[in-house]
Structure 1
Amino acid sequence: MLRKTLSIITLFLIGSTLYAQSIEDLMGMVNTSNLETIVADLSGEQTTTINGMSQTISNRVQSNNDLSTDYIRERLEAFSNLTVQVQNFNSTGKNVIATQHGSVNPDNIYIICAHYDSVTTFCADDNATGVAAVIEIARILSSQCTENTIVYALWDEEEIGLLGANYYAQQAANTTGGNTRDNILGVVNMDMIGYDGDAPGTAGDNEFDIDVRDIANSLTIKDDLLDVLNTYTFDLTPIVVDPGTTFSDHSTFWNQGYSAVLVGESWETNDQTPNYHTSNDRAADIDFPYMTELTKLVLAYTASKSELVTLDNTVTENATSLISNQTTGTYQWINCDTNNPINGETAQTFVPTTNGNYAVEVSNGTCTELSTCIAFTALSTESFSVNDLNIYPNPVHTILKVENFLDTNLSISVSDISGKVLNTITSSQSIIEIDFTEYTNGVYFIGVNSETKSGSFKIVKE
């Protein structure tokens, strides 16, 4: 965050019905572990996979942050229904913009944003926290069809004068040469959303600021956020700051007459990180439960304003089949292990002939949604016993081994906590090795199937 130094007071689910539709259920999908991983990756406190290689983001200072740009771009490109571009606005500055086009009112735009550049090494709170929240919200909402357009924007060069956001806002408002002013209806900027003076995870005031000014309909955004707080259950206490600070990216939209607010930890009550703008700004100081609550708040606001299309991408599983809960429309069942559509499987109900991971793509003619991948194992008559398999070590650091005592052909899948299949292996070897080196730290699930048995095993990567 660009503040005047302290003179200014900033699972994988297996079972019946999967995937959320209501705003409250979508809020429940915000994953604290995902936020922790992204903050640790961006602050360089752990290695991560970028451009297919295990790398460490040494810092995000604007003159040397290409690696963080690639990291953000790759994460957003992995989500469905997003158009991702890197916007070069000067010789070094690069905004990363992901657009989820509205199916009914594509010109009505809501922007959820954060800056990703930093002033020195680490800078976990400022502003890896805001970036992590934007990416997590994009992960969840990109699976939904919306009537209005959502732009997930990660700004560069905030720390040297709000340059990236200012360029975007000026371009959006430009009406010269026959250009039409972009119909941006609301901007929510998240800058430093991870520090609360109470011990992380403990009960406390959980105060946060909503910085606002009476510009365009900015006060309405503030009111809408307060309505969300009163509609759903949060462990948060809002502090409305009016007139709010101009020292972050939302103010560049105020300058162009757009509606915008800043959401962040409470500088107004002097409860901001004590390690502001230093290399002591580390992930260990982040109150991730508090950060999760703020992420849920902005997600709920965005989901309500973007207007979710009534299209149900949930799936019900029974003993013999998978059933799309969308009762009208078109269907295409997908084999998640191969990422390919299954030929001829276009009915609401799908009866698998083999165990595996499956999803359904549903469409109502104007928009399409994809369900999560479901591990279907109902065809198995037995589960593996300790005499059949041995999977070790757990936690794993580099190589996971599956010891196959049955000497039979095994189909093995590796899935992340969201259900995304990352790798598949088929082998009858007595010891099957799976390379975890490139995977980020966190929880994974190993699905193992033989002709007669199946099992799912939770593995932790450290």
Structure 2
Amino acid sequence: MKIKSIFLIAGFFLASMASSQSYIQYYADVSNQVSQTNITTYLTEFENLGVKRRGTQPLEDTYNWLRNKYLGFGYTNAQFQEDTFINGGYTCKNLVVTKVGTLYPNTFVIICGHYDSIVGTGTNDNGSGIATILEVARLLQNIPTEYSIKFINFSGEEDGLVGSQHYVNSVVNATNPKLDIKLVFNLDEVGGVAGMTNNTITCERDTGTPTTNNAASNTITNELITCVGLYSPLNTYLSYAYASDYMPFEDNNEVITGFFETNETSHKHSATDLLINMDPVYNYNVAKAATGAMMHFAVAATTLDETAFTNIASVRFFPNPVKDNLYIDFGILPAKEYEIEILDVYGKKVFNNLIQSPKQLVNINISHLNRGIYLVQLSFEGATIRKKIIIK
């Protein structure tokens, strides 16, 4: 919900001028897998769900639609967190989907946007942001990232950032220790305007108080600007953050950045906030930029890393899915000591063991673990092999 026109504090920026970040071919290859058909389908389905006001069936239906989308991408119920809160006397829900990082499982890159609307269907404000987040989640589902990712779909934004404020108060600050957030990347109203030349995305940085996080936000936003230029055809404007779901995080001294359309629609908060008044090709290009940026922020694996990893040794973890006993085939690994760790979707270590001079095939009893998705880490001589497993 942004109800005033943006005042551009720094003018027009070409992405190529932002910094010296390197182009990574694999990131570009993944970004180029963004599907125009998917973006348009998400927007159409979102619009057909109706007006997503608090206390209404369309809002509940949209929440369930989102859950089903993530399940269809391969995420599991174990990765879902239903963050409920009271908004105007009604129970509302934030949907949080966590993808565990391989190197920093307890540090999170958050990509977020709101799915509620106030008058019309909110296809641009903010079905466009939701469509972008869904496509990023689809493409990154099977790609290892060093940092954990939280895909957060907020409700209550149109009522004054109620859902995101609740999440910061009741999850971020209530976690012991406090949730470690690398950055928050917010997407709000990125659908463009039909009939206009939509070739620029506004990148938003923190210029408010507290000021202690402003420099880091400026750095991250410059990196975002560079990613736009590297992985999409869009140009960039630099502006300031305001009136969307990153603000409770900003007030909490977290590092924030965001996307907002540069050609601002006149249809927000009205019955005409519809796909026909948007530019879905622009939304597609925004999704390409967001995908490249998230791979950069979360430090995604590259094909080069995977090849080098394969050259270390051929190691198998099986069966997968697994029920009671996980087997590790050590292949031709030469080390004499190995550490085996298993982490849950929140990055909590649920199993740890040292193995000395193992036989080629080792059996690990995991019958005490609950069903869900886990990350197995096998460390030896400074190297680490990681594998996602599903316990059924």
User: Structure 1-normalised TM-score?
Assistant: 0.59
Alpha-carbon offset, residue 40 of structure 1? 0.6
Structure 1: segments with no counterpart, 5+ residues? 11-19, 45-56, 315-323, 335-345, 349-362, 371-462
* Residue 178 of structure 2: aligned partner: 181
* Bigger Cα Rg: 1
Q: Which residue of 2 aligns with 1:26?
A: 30
> What does residue 262 of structure 1 align with?
258
Task: State the Cα distance separating 1:253 from its structure 2 match.
Answer: 0.7
User: Cα–Cα, structure 1 residues 332 and 22, in superposed 2: closer, same or farther, change >3 Å?
Assistant: farther
Per the alignment, in what secondary structure is the counterpart of residue 186 of structure 1?
Answer: strand
Alignment of 1:333-348 (within 5 A): none
Q: 1:36 to 1:234 in 2, by over 3 A?
A: same
- Asked if 1:368 corresponds to 2:367, the answer is no
Deviations 1:254-283 (A, max 9, x none): 0100011220101xxxx2112111111111
User: Which residue, out of 245, 252, 265, partners 1:249?
Assistant: 245
Q: Which residue of 1 aligns with 2:16?
A: none
For residues 76-126 of structure 1, what are the alpha-carbon distances to aligned partners after superposition, in whole Å with 9 as ceiling and x for unaligned? 123335501221122422000000011221111100011000012322101
Contact 1:118 1:127 in 2 (8 A): yes
Q: What percentage of residue pairs aligned between the two structures are identical?
A: 22
Amino acid aligned to 1:136: E
Q: Is 1:237 paired with 2:223?
A: no
Q: How does 1:157-176 map to 2 (within 5 A)?
A: 157-174=156-173
Please tell me the residue identity of whatever aligns with 2:269. Answer: H
CA contact 1:148–1:307 (8 Å) conserved in 2: yes
Give SS of 1:261's match.
strand
Tell me the matched-pair count.
Answer: 304
Tell whether the 8 Å contact from 1:170 to 1:256 is kept in structure 2 after alignment: no
Give me the TM-score of the superposition, normalised by structure 2: 0.69
Residue 73 of structure 2: SS of its match in structure 1? coil
Classify the secondary structure of the residue corresponding to 1:367: strand
Q: How far apart are 1:181 and its partner, in Å?
A: 1.6
Q: Structure 1 residue 9: deviation in Å?
A: 5.5
> 3-state DSSP class of the match of 1:294?
helix
Residues 274-303 of structure 1, C-alpha deviations (whole Å, 9 max, x = no match): 211111111122212211111111111111
What is aligned with 1:294? 286
SS at structure 2 position matched to 1:272: coil
Partner-residue secondary structure (3-state), 1:125: coil
Match of 1:37 in 2: 41
Residue 75 in 1 paired to residue 94 in 2? no
Q: Distance in 1 between matches of 2:241 and 2:388?
A: 39
What is the alpha-carbon distance in structure 2 between the residues aligned to residue 253 and residue 24 of structure 1? 29
Structure 2: unaligned runs, 5 residues or longer: 9-23, 321-328, 332-375, 379-384
- 1:298/1:7 Cα in 2 relative to 1: closer, same or farther (>3 Å)? closer
Of structures 1 and 2, the one with the larger relative CO (CA 8 A, separation 6+) is 2
Residue 119 of structure 2 corresponds to 120
Tell me the amino acid that sits aligned with residue 35 of structure 2.
N
> How far 1:307 sits from its partner (Å)?
1.6
Tell me the secondary structure at the aligned position of residue 131 of structure 1.
Answer: helix
Equivalent AA in structure 1 for residue 68 of structure 2: E
Give the counterpart letter for 1:72 in structure 2. L
- Counterpart CA distance in 1 for 2:36 and 2:151 is 19
Query: Kindly tell me: are residues 171 and 112 of structure 1, through their superposed partners in 2, closer, same or farther at Cα, counting changes over 3 Å?
Result: same
Alpha-carbon deviation of 1:227? Answer: 2.1
- Cα distance in 1, alignment partners of residues 225 and 43 from structure 2: 27
In structure 2, the CA distance between the partners of 1:147 and 1:79, relative to structure 1 (3 Å rule), is same
Alignment of 1:56-455 (within 5 A): 57-64=49-56, 65-80=59-74, 83-90=79-86, 91-174=90-173, 179-196=176-193, 198-199=195-196, 204=197, 206-214=199-207, 215=211, 216=213, 217-230=216-229, 232-241=230-239, 244-266=240-262, 271-309=263-301, 328-330=314-316, 365=378, 366-368=385-387
- CA-atom RMSD, angstroms? 3.4
Judging changes above 3 Å, is the alpha-carbon distance between structure 1 residues 330 and 286 closer, same or farther for their aligned structure 2 residues?
A: farther
